[in-house]
Structure 1
Amino acid sequence: MLGTLRRVIEAHGGLDSWNKHKALSVDLVVGGVLWGLKGQAGKLERTNVTVGLGEEWASHQPFGTDNRRTRFSPDRVAIEDAQGKVVEELAAPRRSFAGHALDTLWTEPQLAYFAGYAMWTYLNLPFLALHEGVEVEELPIWLENGEAWRPLRLTFSEAIATHSKVQTIYAGDDGLLRRHDYAVEIAADSAAAHYVGKYVTVDGIKFPTERRVYATDSDGKPMRDLMTVSVDLANFRFP
């Protein structure tokens, strides 16, 4: 394991603590301009998500009206009613985004796919860097907010559904993540700078409770007047 990655893993609670658990649930309050741009405003404004830890799956509930829920995996996404009956599903969901522009509207299953892989990625970091389908490379020191952050470039295999094949995470002097960069391939490769903070400790593992995602300019600087997604997280628990 690379030295920086080892320090980051230990700062977030260590691999032994992480490996005790198979799933994580958390309550979400979601905002930002992305949802309206995609024609799906309000569907995930206040919800709960449960994600697999390691194995890639996720479920949001409620999803829109009538207490519906989602079932996400990389090769299939479904929307179920409150009794678990499938009301809509989409196989090979990634293919359905072919030719999409930034302002192309999403269907509900496409929204469920995006939200599922995004929250699975976020909640599994930084431990996701140890996944067998992820390669890790240390990058030069990054200066931001008067701090020297240590970046790690993550390259994901095609088997993992996530924002983009190549992403970068940044750790502060304390080893905790500060920033996460990626391009949203299913939304015209739109570049994003995702900031995290206000950590809490749950069963020895540290999680950020605030996430703010901004579009970036050509130099990778966040456009602070263009917050695409906000997520506030609370009540972390291991089911």
Structure 2
Amino acid sequence: MALLDDVIDASGGIARWNSLNRFTLHLSVGGTLFSSAGHAREFKDVTAEGSTRMQSVRFTGITGGDHSGSFQPDAITIESLAGDVLRSWPNPSLAFPEVDPSALADELHLIFFCGVAIWSYLTIPFLLAHPDVVTEELSPWQENAETWRRLRAQFPAHLMTLAPEQVFYFDESALQRRTDHDLFGMKVAHSSWAHDSFGGIVVPTLRRAQTVRPDGTVIAKPVLMDVEIFDAVFE
């Protein structure tokens, strides 16, 4: 069986995924990308509700619980808890990954970044089966005493991603353990572990983004981004 087939089966299977429409997460997001932009606690203990079918995520509880933020490819908004639009950013840039990370000081950019990241986290590996995503299996990677299989993916322009080309690593159980790509001019690796099953869909509940050396090994500090998923519901 091809690597992508193994991976999708290990994550719950394409039939189960295709029966779903939405997800709801309770999570926290942090790291130096946030603290250096003045948002150390902006995404702590928030709710993210999104679509499994299209790129759409709404965050509730940002800015200390006072506001919500919505990500869609054609608009980013910040709203009051009553639903009033406070700020908006129509047609956000597709070239966002090339923007300096200091842009995250603007909450609209921060919501865009988190929306793209969290939606990708929840839809991978199923998104890799999209007909417009081109995948190629690479040579295996040795991680300590383990052998991880790798898949390179090229994403089409109409899908907003943190990078148009990414390399995914999967362990001997076909679970996602790492993703490499360029971000803000850096080579970064998103490590993922502590997988759990939510309604039949297996999700890594811990993720950490760090820079990597030219040989592909991860540099421990700084931690650019930390994501912890406390609970997830798919329906």
Query: TM-score when scaled to structure 1?
Result: 0.92
Cα deviations by residue, 1:97-136 (Å, 9 ceiling, x for unpaired): 5974344553111101000011000111110101233111
Counterpart contact for 2:98–2:185, Cα < 8 Å: no
Change (3 A) 1:99 1:192: closer
SS of the counterpart of 1:64?
Answer: helix
Report the Cα distance in structure 1 between the residues aligned to 2:104 and 2:195, rounded to whole angstroms: 34
Is residue 88 of structure 2 the alignment partner of residue 92 of structure 1?
no
| One-letter code aligned to 1:74 | P
* Structure 1 match to 2:33: 34
Secondary structure at the aligned position of 2:167 is classed as strand
Structure 2 residue 131 is matched with structure 1 residue 117: no
For residue 127 of structure 1, what is the aligned residue in structure 2? 126
Corresponding position of 1:180: 179
Unmatched segments (≥5 aa) in structure 2: none
Alpha carbons of 1:99 and 1:224: their partners in 2 closer, same or farther (altered >3 Å)? closer
Residue 31 (structure 1) shift = 2.3
Q: How does 1:1-239 map to 2 (within 5 A)?
A: 3-94=2-93, 100-184=99-183, 188-239=184-235
Contact 1:150 1:171 in 2 (8 A): yes
Paired letter, 1:126: P
Q: Secondary structure in 1 aligned to 2:63?
A: coil
Q: Give the SS at the match of 2:108.
A: helix
The answer to whether the 8 Å contact 1:15/1:127 transfers is: yes
Q: Percent identity?
A: 29
Q: What CA distance in whole angstroms lies between the structure 2 residues aligned with 1:65 and 1:101?
A: 25
2:76–2:112 Cα contact (<8 Å) kept:
yes
Moved more, 96-105 or 172-181: 96-105
CA contact (8 A) 2:97 2:162 kept: no
Residues 183-206 of structure 1, C-alpha deviations (whole Å, 9 max, x = no match): 22xxx3322111111111112211
Deviation at 1:59, TM superposition (A): 0.9
Q: Note if contact 2:31-2:40 (Cα within 8 Å) is conserved in structure 1.
A: no
Please say if residues 133 and 159 of structure 1, whose CA atoms lie closer than 8 Å, have aligned partners that are also in contact. no
Moved more, 86-95 or 118-127: 86-95
Unaligned 5+ runs, structure 1: none
